[in-house]
Structures are given as C-alpha cells and as structure tokens.
Amino acid sequence: MAFELPPLPFDEKALEPAISTETIRFHYRKHHAGYVKKLNELIPGTHYAKMDLQQIIVEAAPHKSDRAIYNNAAQTWNHSFYWASLSPETQGAPEGELLDAIDLSFGSFASFEEQFSKTAADLFGSGWLWLVKGTDQSLQLLPMPNAGCALTEGVLPLLVCDVWEHAYYLDQKNERAKYIQQFFSRINWQFAAKNFASTNLN
C-alpha cells in the first residue's frame, strides 16, 4: 500500500505572519513529502507493506534494523499531526474540560505556556514536543528527539510542535524561542480538545 501526502488543512499562506508562506511551502512540499516518498521506497517487500501508518510506527520502533522505516513512517505521521495542531486563526486559550485539565496538570494556562516554551527550547537538537494525556488522565509534556512519535509511548497525543530547524530557520534563523512563541499563538485548540475527548489512540 503506497502512502500519499495528505493535503494541508489550510492554505500555505494561512499562517502569515506567524509562520511564513515560504516556510510552510518548503516544510510541506519538500520535507513532509520527502518522508512519504522515502517511506514508499522502503516498505515494499517487507512485512510492513500490509500495515497502516500507525501500525508501522509502533511495530518498527523497537527494531534497530528497521530504523529508517520507523523514522520515515513517524515523520510522515508526525507532520500530519503538526499541521492539524496549527490554526489559521489565533485562538487564545482552550476552553471547558481541556482547560480544566491543563489547570490541574500545570497549575494554570500561563504556567502551561511557560513550561511548554521552556521544554521546547531545551529540547536538544531536532525533535518534537508533544502534549499528551497519560493513562492516569493527567496531561504531560513529552519531548522526543529526532523522529520521536508519542504513539510508541502508550499515551494519547493532543498536539505537537515540530522543533526541527526546518520548521523555523527560514523565518527565525537560530532563534527557536521566537518560533515557539509564534507556534503557541496559532495552536489549534479545537483539534487538541477533540483528541482530549477521544478514548482511542488515533
């Protein structure tokens, strides 16, 4: 089964001025598309060929010999989750049960923003910062290096921030903190709330 690059959920210009059209265009058309292409080159003839993307990620993760398959499968899935985590409109803060859960787990929404920003800034090298719901229902920040995907950790991902340099270097150069601030202002809280209400890993 060949995987396809899913359409962006918004126009490439939609995140201006927080994230530029050029950044979204390169990130989506070159990086995300590149992972999908590479994955489709790697899986034919392997036992992964009959699996869906999430199965490939979970099955390949423990096997060092399948690292390239894991990396490209996870990067394919992570990027789709990242686009969904972004909103063309500035939404401010979440509401309802998700906001209550953030208050309970992080003290307050302001404290959550502070911890989110610091954890993303402190993630060494390339990687992903996930907001996840654990099996005890608490929310946690989960920084993962390289192609790290929360699906391998038995937790429910709510949203993700891509902190690879390709996500911000055209706009912010080496200033990751500025990108994190812009990302935070465009978090799609409706997407996170939908995931929070879900009981299944998706």
CB of 187 to Fe ion, least distance (A): 16
Q: Please tell me the distance from the alpha carbon of residue 2 to that of residue 165, in angstroms, as a whole number.
A: 28
Paired tokens of 167: 């996500």
Task: List CB contacts of 24: < 8 A, sequence separation 6 or more.
Answer: 8, 12, 13, 14, 15
Rounding to the nearest 10 degrees, give the CA dihedral for residues 146, 151, 152, 154: 140
| Tokens 């610091």 found at | 118
| Amino acid at position 131, single letter | L
Name the site residues for Fe ion (rule: CB under 5 A). 162, 164
Residue 201: its H or E element: none
Q: Between residues 66 and 162, which has the closer beta carbon with respect to Fe ion?
A: 162
Q: Between residues 3 and 164, which has the closer beta carbon with respect to Fe ion?
A: 164
CB of 194 to Fe ion, least distance (A): 22
CB of 197 to Fe ion, least distance (A): 27
CB of 193 to Fe ion, least distance (A): 24
Q: Please tell me the distance from the alpha carbon of residue 187 to that of residue 177, in angstroms, as a whole number.
A: 15
- Max alpha carbon distance in the chain (Å)? 50
Phi and psi at 18, nearest 5°, equal -65, -50
Q: Between residues 112 and 183, which has the closer beta carbon with respect to Fe ion?
A: 183
The SS3 of residue 156 is strand
Q: Between residues 113 and 162, which has the closer beta carbon with respect to Fe ion?
A: 162
Q: Between residues 77 and 164, which has the closer beta carbon with respect to Fe ion?
A: 164
CB of 31 to Fe ion, least distance (A): 5
